[in-house]
A and B are shown apart, each in its own frame.
Chain A
Amino acid sequence: MIDPIEPPKRKNPLLRTRLPTAPPRPRSRRSHGFTRAAAEGRFMLQRCEACGSFAYPAREACPSCLSADLAFVDAPRRGVLLAETTARVPSDVYFRERAPWRIGLVKMDCGPTIVAHLHADCSEGAAISMSLQLDKSGQAVAFARPEGETPNMADDRQWREMTADPKFRRVLVTNGRTVVGQEAVAALKAAGAKTVFVGVAEPWRPFAGEKLLRGQDGIEIVALDAADEKSAADLAADIGGKVDILVNTTEHVRPGGLLDRRGTSIARDEIDQAYLGFINLAQAFGPAMRMRGADGINNSVAWVNILSVYALANWPAFGSYSASQAACLSLSHCLRSELRPGGVKVMNLFTGPVDTEWFQTVPPPKVAPRAIAQAIVSGLRSGLEDMYVGDVAEEIRQRLAANPKALERELDR
């Protein structure tokens, strides 16, 4: 059983901030099958299509029958911890700073043995549940937890290295004028965030839902218009060193594609708000977040984008908007690479049409803003990179994997 983590003390500004280091990063190309699984919170292993046996570590041929047909498939998570050890003097800086570090060898019920990071409540001879997590290098690692819940489970020191739990952290939600933004604030606060800063452009102008935010303990409305470079920079100068999680709720949805619009003014707005807004936020807040990746219990850990799933495949009815989302998706991969030295995760939530006024004419199913907010929290708690929220998003993901051309033709309706 583990003790709950204590709320972090006020930081002494005179002390040096501990700089982030990263665990070993090199992996074989095949091994990134695990990275793909971990990004979505799935547990996958290679299984031989010819003889059915599971294999681990990542291989190029089946050790039972030499077949090269080793697909990554969802695998049973249960195993038994055979032996454990505690590394006290690791040779690598990241682990040396975090020693003692506990690992073990797990015999999976489906066959292979896996060296894994251990949750403190795992014990030898007992059953465990295995997951793949993204570590501070952004690489997939196996993590064994006890089957079932244990007290203060998420406060485990090694688990918290793999995740971005909002507990005791300070969050900036960039746009509090939207319903999604307001739901995100509530969900993050409920998840134990110490402070949620809520960006509102021209906050003296009244807006719907304002009562939910004003005068609430631990919620601070701050002036922020992401599309305005100076506004983002001014806010970062004020709270940039206190943002542990940034949730980019910028949203600018307009219907229409190319030929039925005149000129570029609407497209320019879409780009200004979504794409250039993203750049402004990244340049204002990214550097400090990257630097604070190892800054104690409330180190900076994650950047969250809420993107349309049509970033992955253009939906002509909202064609120009889809393109602005695709631009943001591409930029998120650049941001992920640039935040990686700090161990800060970039999580993208892909949603179908949200149940808000700008998708008024779109038939259901639509995603409830609250479902997006809950997904943000669960994704952070699990340390995910890609989440598909709602039935439409999940369907697009599957159809894209099955046949991108079919998806393109069928979105053209």
Chain B
Amino acid sequence: MTTSLRTPYDSVVMAAPVTVPYARYSIESAQWWIGRALAGLVAQAGIKASDIDGLCVSSFTMGTDSGVGLTQHFGLCVRWLDTIPLGGASAIAALRKAARAVQARDADIVACVAGDTNHVDSFRLTLENFSRFNQDAVYPYGAGGANSSFALIARNYMRTFGVTREDVGRIAVAQRANALRNPHALMKAPLTIEQYLAARPISDPIHLFDCVMPCAGAEAFLVMRDETAKSLGLPAARLLSTIERHNAFADDPMQVRGGWAMDVGELYTMAGVGPDDLDIVQTYDDYPVITMMQFEDLGFCAKGEGAAFVRAHDLTINGDFPHNTSGGQLSAGQAGAAGAYLGLVEGLRQVLGTAGPTQVKNASLGLASGFGMINYDRGLASGAAIFAGPSR
């Protein structure tokens, strides 16, 4: 096995995974949700807020606030601060930056937080104001939002590789089964493949159960050095490797692969593990077809074999390939930028053995991925991380 030239994440750990239970709509502000997540971190870690000396924030709905405004709002005095506007890739990007900050001792305890509110009109406003290319060259075309943009990608992908709606639907159906064990998931009714196939079309070939439900919520975790966690008596997961890539494969006329495909070798080399070693996988599931693409790009199968892969595996908690164990965004809800954190936070709970009703037995090695920012015709940002629990 070749070795990575990057500096290893020796002694970098993550602790205190926090999920503030989601609400379909909230009259509270994003700052309120972020505040609840910070309070959750402090309570779970048994630290004082003043022990947090680094902060990394992601949100679509904070209005004019950035991370620095939040320090005063929450009474935090930090010596390291970042605001990450990378949508679905925010959690992996936050983790990467925070990891290097604590490793270099620029900070000792970094709180990584994402939270968004969902007022009745806020999702439409987010769609309308997403990016300049979106404003100029996408939104005025039917205003279908991400649904229409991903519909184009999905249609091309499905046609190119002979993927059927039933193949894609297996992912959504398995995640709903997982969500039924997660008391905080917004979707509480079982979903059959027949119901999936019979759902109303939203933007062909995207149908209702291919779409996430926008909601309010927050997710968070702490990043620190191993010694800090030990001194606090905190159970922690070790960070083994990460990748991040933006605007990959710009010459592909349509997106059939994400940036992971460019860096996946490095991801496993740096971690010193292979895809088969993983106990749990949490992909970024804004649409199940994007998850299928990740199965290929993250090395679980070759390009074009995603459909065969999902046919051959059971993606539920008790299955042979436990995936998106909390139900993912498709069934738990998409709380804006917190959607980027959902998989990583659930993955941390899994390897720490604290996932409760969704716990996969003996899970110790996990992978979480992120994907974000459909700026124009494709998702631009991708990332992934591999981490290990104390039992490994």
Contact = CB atoms under 8 A, between A and B. Distances in A.
A90 B143 contact: yes
Interface stretch (B107-115, B200-208, B365-373): B200-208
Q: Number of contact residues on A: which range applies?
A: 35 or more
Contact of A115 (B124, B141, B203, B205): B141
Interface in A132-185: 135, 137, 139, 141-142
Contacts, number: 119
Contacts of A141: 140-141
Interface in A162-212: none
Contacts of A99: 142
B73 interface: no
A104 B152 contact: yes
Given A88-B201, A89-B202, A92-B124, A23 B254 contact: no
23 contacts: A23-B140, A24-B135, A24-B140, A28-B132, A57-B132, A84-B152, A85-B144, A86-B201, A86-B203, A87-B142, A87-B147, A87-B203, A89-B202, A89-B203, A90-B145, A92-B124, A92-B139, A101-B142, A102-B142, A103-B148, A103-B152, A105-B377, A115-B376
Given A89-B202, A95-B142, A83 B136 contact: no
A84 B204 CA distance: 8
Interface string A20-46: 000111111001000000000000000
A116 B376 CA distance: 12
B203 A57 contact: no
Interface in B220-257: 250, 253-254
Please indicate which of the listed interface residues B143, B204, B206, B376 has the most CB atoms of chain A within 10 Å of its own CB: B143
B318 to A, nearest CB: 35
Interface string A207-234: 0000000000000000000000000000
A58 interface: yes
Given A84-B155, A105-B377, A28 B136 contact: yes
B129 to A, nearest CB: 8
A101 B133 CA distance: 20
Please indicate which of the listed interface residues B135, B136, B139, B140 has the most CB atoms of chain A within 10 Å of its own CB: B140
A25 B127 CA distance: 14
A143 to B, nearest CB: 10
A30 to B, nearest CB: 8
Contacts of A113: 253-254, 377
Nearest to A80: B253
B128 interface: yes
Contact of A83 (B132, B135, B155): B155
Contacts of A82: 152, 156, 253-254
B376 to A, nearest CB: 6
A115 B155 contact: no
B128 A85 contact: no
Given A92-B124, A115-B138, A23 B143 contact: yes
A57 B133 contact: yes
A103 to B, nearest CB: 5
Given A24-B139, A83-B152, 19 more contacts: A23-B143, A24-B128, A26-B128, A57-B133, A57-B376, A85-B151, A85-B204, A87-B142, A87-B147, A94-B143, A96-B143, A99-B142, A105-B254, A107-B253, A113-B253, A114-B137, A115-B141, A116-B141, A142-B141
